[in-house]
Chains A and B, each alone.
Chain A
Amino acid sequence: MTDTPVALGARPSLRERADRFRARRASWIPVSAAVGILVVMFAVGQAYFGNFLTPRVLSSLLLDNAYLIVLAVGMTFVILTGGIDLSVGSVMAFTGILCARMLSEGAPTGVVIPLVIVLGALMGLATGVLVQVFEVQPFIASLAAMFAARGLAFVVSLSSIKLEDPFVLALQSTRLAGGGWYLTPTGIIAIATVVIAALVLHFTRFGRTVYAVGGSEQSARLMGLATARTKVLAYVISGTCAGIAGVLFTAYSGAGYPLNGIGTELDTIAAVVIGGTLLTGGTGYVLGSMIGVFVYGTIKVLISFLGAEQSWTRITIGALLLVFVVVQRVIVARSSRS
Chain B
Amino acid sequence: MTLPMDTDVPSSPTDRGAVAVAMRDITVRFPGVLALDGVDLTLHAGEVHALMGENGAGKSTLIKALTGEQRIDAGTITVDGRVRELRGTSDAQEAGIATVYQEVNLCANLSVGENLMLGGEPRRRGAIDWRELHRRAGEHLRGLGVEIDTRSRLSGHSIAVQQLVAISRAIMQEASVLVLDEPTSSLDRSEVERLFAVVRELRDRGVAVLFVTHFLDQVYEISDRITVLRNGALVGDYPVDELPRPELVARMIGRDLDELEALSDSSARVIDRSGAPVIRARGLARRGALEAVDVDVFDGEIVGLAGLLGSGRTELARLLAGADHPDRGHLEKRGTPVRLGTPRHAIAQRIVFSSEDRRAEGVVPDLSVAENIVLGVQARRGWMRPIAAAERDELVARSIAELGIRPADPNALVRNLSGGNQQKVLLARWLATAPELLILDEPTRGIDVGAKADIQRKVAELARAGLAVVFISSELDEVLRLAQRIAVMRDHRKIGELDAREVGLDAVVEMIAQEDPAPSPEPATSAPRSRT
Taking Cβ atoms with an 8 Å cutoff, the residues of A that contact B are 1-3, 5-6, 8, 20, 22-24, 26-27, 199, 202-205, 208-209, 211-212, 214-216, 218-225, 282-283, 335-336, 338
- CA–CA, A275 and B147, complex, Å: 34
B56 to chain A, nearest CB (A): 23
Chain B contact residues, CB within 8 Å of chain A: 89-90, 93, 99, 101, 104-111, 114, 118-119, 121, 126-128, 147-149, 151-153, 155-158, 161, 169
Q: Is B105 a contact partner of A24 (Cβ separation < 8 A)? A: no
Knowing A3-B161, A5-B148 touch, does A208 contact B109 (C-beta < 8 A)?
no
Q: Assess the A24–B153 pair: CB atoms within 8 A.
A: yes
Q: Looking at the assembled complex, report how far the CB atom of A203 sits from the nearest CB atom of chain B, in whole angstroms.
A: 4
Minimum C-beta distance from B265 to chain A (A): 41
* C-alpha spacing A225/B107, complex, angstroms: 12
Q: Whole-angstrom distance between the alpha carbons of A35 and B128 in the complex?
A: 27
Neighbour of B153 across the interface among A5, A26, A203, A222, CB < 8 A: A26
- Of the A-B pairs whose beta carbons lie under 8 Å apart in the complex, a sample of 25, sorted by A's number, is A2-B152, A3-B157, A23-B151, A23-B153, A23-B156, A27-B153, A203-B128, A205-B128, A208-B118, A208-B128, A211-B109, A212-B118, A215-B109, A215-B110, A216-B106, A222-B89, A223-B119, A224-B89, A224-B93, A225-B118, A225-B119, A283-B109, A335-B155, A336-B155, A338-B156
Tell whether, in the assembled complex, residue A1 and residue B157 are in contact, meaning their CB atoms are under 8 Å apart.
yes
* A247, B456: Cα distance in complex, Å: 70
Cross-chain contact A223 with B105 (CB below 8 angstroms) = yes
Is the beta-carbon distance between B114 and A24 smaller than 8 angstroms?
A: no
Report the bound CA distance from A242 to B450 in whole Å. Answer: 58
The answer to whether A1 touches B93, judged by C-beta atoms less than 8 angstroms apart, is no
Bound state CA distance, A216 and B106, in angstroms? 7
Chain A residue numbers with a CB within 8 Å of B153 are 23-24, 26-27
Q: Is the CB of B118 within 8 A of A223?
A: yes
Query: Which residues of A lie under 8 Å from residue B156 when comparing CB positions?
Result: 1-2, 22-23, 26, 335, 338
A11 to B157 Cα, complex, angstroms: 23
Contact between chains at A205 and B107 (CB < 8 Å): no
Per CB-CB distance, the 3 closest pairs between chain A and chain B, nearest first, are A215-B107, A23-B152, A215-B109
User: Which residues of the other chain, A, contact B118 by a CB distance below 8 angstroms?
Assistant: 208-209, 212, 220, 223, 225
Q: Give the nearest-CB partner of A217 in chain B.
A: B107
Complex formed: what's the CA distance from A47 to B348 in Å?
Answer: 65
On chain A, the residues within 8 Å of B147 by CB distance are 5
Q: How far is the CB of B126 from chain A (nearest CB, A)?
A: 8
B114, B151, B152: the one contacting A208 at CB < 8 Å is: B114
Interchain CB contact under 8 A, B110 and A212: yes
| A282 vs B101: C-alpha distance when bound (angstroms) | 21
Q: Judging by beta carbons under 8 Å apart, are B128 and A219 in contact?
A: no
Bound complex: CA A204 to CA B158 (Å): 29
Contact A208 B121 (CB under 8 A): yes
Distance, CA A212 to CA B108, complexed state (A): 9
| Residues B119 and A24 in contact, CB atoms below 8 Å apart | no
Question: Closest CB of chain A to B503's CB: distance in Å?
Answer: 35
CA distance A216 to B162 in the complex (A): 14
Q: In the bound complex, how far is the Cα of B89 from the Cα of A225, in angstroms? A: 10
By the criterion CB–CB under 8 Å, are A219 and B155 in contact?
no
The listed residue with most B CB atoms (<10 A of its CB), out of A5, A199, A219, A338, is A219
Interfacial chain A residues near B109, Cβ < 8 Å: 27, 211, 214-215, 282-283
B105 & A216 in contact (Cβ 8 Å cutoff):
yes
* Besides A199-B127, A212-B110, A215-B110, 5 new A-B residue pairs in contact (Cβ under 8 A), listed by A number: A20-B152, A204-B128, A211-B107, A224-B119, A338-B155
Q: Compute how far the CA of A8 lies from the CA of B161 in the bound complex, rounded to whole angstroms.
A: 18
- From known contacts A208-B118, A224-B89, infer whether A24 and B149 are also in contact, taking CB-CB under 8 Å: yes
Closest to B101 in A: A222
Residues of A contacting B99 with CB < 8 Å? 222
Which residue in chain A gives the minimum CB-CB distance to B129?
Answer: A203
- A20, A219, A220, A338: the one contacting B149 at CB < 8 Å is A20
- A211 proximity list for chain B (CB < 8 A): 107, 109-110
Q: How far is the CA of A18 from the CA of B170 in the complex (A)?
A: 31
Q: Are A203 and B127 in contact (CB under 8 A)?
A: yes
Residues of B within 8 A of A221 (CB): 89
Residues in chain A near residue B149, CB distance under 8 A:
2, 5-6, 8, 20, 23-24
The distance from the CB of A225 to the nearest CB of chain B, in whole angstroms, is 5
Whether A205 and B121, one on each chain, are in contact in the complex, defined by CB atoms closer than 8 angstroms, is: yes
Which residues of B lie under 8 Å from residue A216 when comparing CB positions?
Answer: 105-108
A202–B127 Cα distance when bound, in Å, is 9
Contacts of A335 in B (CB 8 A): 108, 155-156
In whole angstroms, what is the CA distance A288 to B155 when docked?
21
A23–B156 Cα gap in the complex (Å)? 6
B107 contacts across to A, CB distance below 8 A: 211-212, 215-216, 219-220, 282
